[in-house]
Chain A
Amino acid sequence: MQPRRRVPAARWLVVTATVLVAGCTPHSVTEQGQAIYNLYNLFMYIAAVVFVLVSGLVIWSVVRYRRRDEELPTQTHGNNRLELAWTVIPTVIVLVLFVFTIRAQDKVLDQSGQADVNLTVTAFQWSWRFTYEGTGAEVVGGPGTVPEMVVPVGARIRVKLLSADVVHSFYVPQTLFKRQAIPGTVNQFDLTFDKVGLYHGQCTQFCGLQHTDMVYRVRVVTQGEYQSWLAGASRRGSAGRPGT
């Protein structure tokens, strides 16, 4: 009897854990995002255990201790040892999570390396301008024009983020990273894409009437493709609008 009862319980645990962990972030396409992806998974595993444990205890108490007779249960008021345990253990867990958080954060925000591409991104109501410092290349979006930020794979892109009007937010979901563009403030961060591809980007800070339309694309290409694109874009100067 005992083993037969254990199998469904174990299966239930596995199913629950799978459903929970299925709520995963997509894989990151940048070096920096990889650190976030790993951190997220660590949090997810601990969260799944905590969720199963606590909800299991709640459901168990309700099932096991349903009122069956008129007998008044023992009137216990507390238990110092238990209460100490469920104060100390969560404290230790969050301290561990904090240590991993700091380590991941240092990787994500690290700007010690030499930048390969210096890119100024200016957010404005309601599109984006990508300026390639020192090359004369610039891409500007506008009504009906989705701008495309073209960057080489494997290179350290240093993004200088500005806003021309209200607060916006630069976000490419597959980098697992975003940063607000705040008027009067220069924000700077690095992105190193490790996969060639075309990625969706969108403003995530509500910025007025056409916030919904403030989308852009990131095209990650090989170094060679990037150089020839850059040469073409520089020749066209700021009038170039390769976005479609």
Chain B
Amino acid sequence: MATTELPLPALPEAHHEEPGGIVDYLTTVDHKKIGLLYIFTSFAIFLAGGILALVVRTELAEPGLQVLGENTYNQVFTMHGTLMIFLFAAQVSTGLGNYLVPLQIGAADVAFPRANAMSYWLYLFGSLIVLSSFFVSGGPAAVAWTAYAPLSTDQYFQGTGMDLWIIGLAVVGVAGILGAVNLVTTIFRMRMPGMTMFRLPLFSWGVLVNQLLILFAFPPLTVVFALLFLERNFGAQFFNPAAGGQPILFQHIFWFFGHPEVYIIILPIFGVISEVIPVFSRKPLFGYRAMVFAFFGIAALSFGVWAHHMFATGLVYLPYFSIMSLLIAVPTGIKVFNWIGTMWRGSITLSTAMLMALGFILVFLVGGITGIFLASPPIDFAVNDTYYVVAHFHYIMVGGLLYGMFAAFYFWFPKFTGRLLSERLGKWHFWIFLLGFNLTFFPQFLVGLDGMPRRIADYQIERWGPANLASTVGAFLTGVSVLIFLWNFLVSIRRGKPAGDDPWGGNSLEWVTSSPPPSHNFHHLPEVHSERPAYDYRHSPAYAAAHGGPDTDPDRG
């Protein structure tokens, strides 16, 4: 295959005179630095949310109120959910997308670098506004992360903390919309010649669909927060039945955002898994087009299923929302089977990134299967708002998101830093996480089926004790595994093995450039003839000439 170097557009010289250090990061419009800012900020929020989770688990370890009062408990679990869902889960993949998408499509930067920077700073300050509620009188919101009206209106919950919660999250929502416009435009308009849509790496596809979902799902969220803010502060009565308002309206608008949010969180992770598995199986992704169509299938269905969160309200048309929710299993199943198809007859290396990807498939499978139960209204009547639901969505969120995120970290850390994370520590991280995670959340299925409601500070029923104790022990083990990861990060960023441009034998264009990439991303770009340009390049005469023969081909050891 002929591989000619494509000429790159001339770059403005100003790029070479960037100030270093903190000032550089405060003023940068480089998508890679903004990506890292997103990743670091959201990871810091993840650690804070994790500490709140440990506080919750400590309280619930045994029956009785030991550590917190009811009010503090309500604040802690509200803020745990808020930090994790709004400020971490939806943001960390925006960070990965920011860093990787321009590299994967062969672009020098995103379409709107300044808007991109603005989006990050809005996200940061929105998050700080939410966090500042810890320091106002009355403390932070204590209405659960779903903030159902009328509980969250001024009639039933006073205090500045709740208003800061609304304002902060509205700002983060605007940041998300701005970031989405930027990333969607980047993918549609900034692809290098030859990079057709059906050669786009799956991670970039995942980010594209995820950002399109943000464009459609975040505006309703901003609307519902605006309505709530008006009701709390300016006498509006949208949710007050005594004045002709409708409490159920809140649930409808909230979940019209809330269910797509699940896919906003998980689709980029599907993308990560679809990058990691082919590389470590040394085979192309099985059923590439089906994987792309499955993304769109999931995204389209995700807007028709919101009311499965409301089966127990008695106010929604059950069969419609049931069948739509059940059908999501089909595109999701296609993904899982295609991953297996990719590994089948492959040549599999169990690196930490691959272990995390395999862990993802197995825990996501449990989360997905239990999701099918919840799509059936009669079963939902039994388990809705119990620990069964808590276990289910943590299998998706913690299991799915975190395994995928760690797979991404182990996979791309070398690209970000030029150094490899320690595989030895990585394996400790993986196995302790696997044990801790399942010990935390599997018992919650059992107490949930036995009727333990979620969001209670205490329980009187003694037989729920052992499962809760196991959950608490598992949560602390999970905490230990995250500490191992942090240790790995701190050690490897200074003393990790040099990674080179392409430590894994990668498929997409980021593996063609240096690690870390130069500020304009590429010194040279190979031609793109398939969805695996870096693989094609390694097998080309040009590569052999540049690297001294086919013996140095990483695909051959």
Say which residue of A24, A35, A66, A82 sits within 8 Å of B341 (CB atoms): A82
Question: Known interface pairs A183-B150, A185-B248. Does A36 touch B369 (Cβ–Cβ under 8 Å)?
Answer: no
Find out whether the CB atom of B283 lies under 8 angstroms from the CB atom of A40.
Answer: no
Give the segment of B13-21, B126-134, B201-209, B345-353 that binds chain A.
B345-353
- CB contact under 8 A between A77 and B288, given known A51-B365, A182-B247, A206-B144: yes
- Contact yes or no, B287 A83, CB < 8 A: yes
Check A61/B369 contact, CB under 8 A, given A70-B556, A178-B385. Answer: no
B74 within 8 Å of A (CB atoms): yes
Question: Does the CB pair A208–B156 fall under 8 Å?
Answer: yes
Question: When chains A and B are docked, how far (Å) is the Cα of A77 from the Cα of B530?
Answer: 12
* A210 at interface, CB cutoff 8 A: yes
Known: A176-B381, A177-B381. A72 touches B330 (CB 8 A): no
Are B329 and A47 in contact, with the CB atoms below 8 A?
no
- From residue 53 to 104 of chain A, which have CB atoms closer than 8 A to chain B? 54-55, 57-58, 61-62, 65-79, 82-83, 86-87, 90-91, 94, 97-98, 101-102, 104
Instruction: Return chain A residues, CB-CB under 8 Å to B379.
Output: 36, 39-40, 43
Distance (Å) between the CB of A236 and the closest chain B CB?
27
By the criterion CB–CB under 8 Å, are B151 and A167 in contact? yes
Is B362 part of the binding interface, using a Cβ–Cβ cutoff of 8 Å? yes
Q: Once the chains bind, are A97 and B362 in contact (CB under 8 Å)?
A: no
Contact A205 B148 (CB under 8 A): yes
Contact among B70, B313, B381 for A210, CB-based, below 8 A = B70
Given A24-B449, A39-B379, are A212 and B345 neighbors across the interface (CB < 8 Å)? no
Q: B410-418, B421-429, B451-459, B490-498: which lies at the A interface? A: B451-459
Is A119 on the interface with B (CB-CB < 8 A)? no
Known: A66-B348, A182-B248, A200-B451. A171 touches B340 (CB 8 A): no
Overall SS of chain B's interface:
helix
B503 smallest CB distance to A (angstroms): 15
Within the complex, the shortest CB–CB distance from A146 to chain B, in Å, comes to: 10
Q: List, in ascending order, chain B residues with CB within 8 A of A200's CB.
A: 451, 461
Residue B52, interface by CB 8 Å: no
Distance in angstroms from B387 CB to nearest chain A CB is 10
Interface residues on B, range: 35 or more
A189 within 8 Å of B (CB atoms): yes
A23 touches B445 (CB 8 A): yes
Q: How large is the interface on A (under 10, 10 to 19, 20 to 34, 35 or more residues)?
A: 35 or more
Asked whether B373 is an interface residue with its Cβ less than 8 Å from the other chain, the reply is yes
Question: Does B10 have its Cβ within 8 Å of any Cβ on chain A?
Answer: no
The answer, among B143, B322, B338, for a CB contact under 8 Å with A206, is: B143
B286, B445, B456: the one contacting A76 at CB < 8 Å is: B286
Within 8 A of A (CB), among B522-551: none
B147-159: CB near A (< 8 Å → 1, else 0) gives 0101100001100
- Asked if B214 is at the interface of the complex by the 8 Å CB criterion, the answer is no
Q: Does A143 contact B (CB under 8 A)?
A: no
Q: Does A203 have its Cβ within 8 Å of any Cβ on chain B?
A: yes
User: Are A58 and B313 CB-contacts (below 8 A) given A209-B70, A210-B70?
Assistant: no
Closest to A183 in B: B241
Give Cα A166–Cα B248 distance, bound, in whole angstroms.
Answer: 11
Establish whether residues A94 and B347, one from each chain, have CB atoms under 8 Å apart when the complex forms.
no
| Interface status of A187 (Cβ within 8 A of chain B) | yes
Assess whether A39 is in contact with B376, with CB atoms less than 8 Å apart.
yes
CB contact between A50 and one of B150, B322, B369 (< 8 Å): that residue: B369
The 7 closest A-B pairs by CB, nearest first: A173-B451, A184-B241, A204-B385, A176-B382, A61-B343, A204-B453, A94-B326
Interface residues of A (CB under 8 A from B): 23-26, 33, 35-36, 39-40, 43, 47, 50-51, 54-55, 57-58, 61-62, 65-79, 82-83, 86-87, 90-91, 94, 97-98, 101-102, 104-105, 108, 125, 165-167, 169, 171, 173-174, 176-180, 182-185, 187, 189, 200, 202-213, 215
14 more A-B contacts (CB under 8 A) besides A24-B449, A47-B369, A180-B314?
Answer: A23-B445, A25-B382, A65-B281, A78-B287, A83-B290, A165-B150, A171-B451, A178-B312, A180-B313, A182-B247, A203-B453, A208-B156, A209-B71, A209-B74
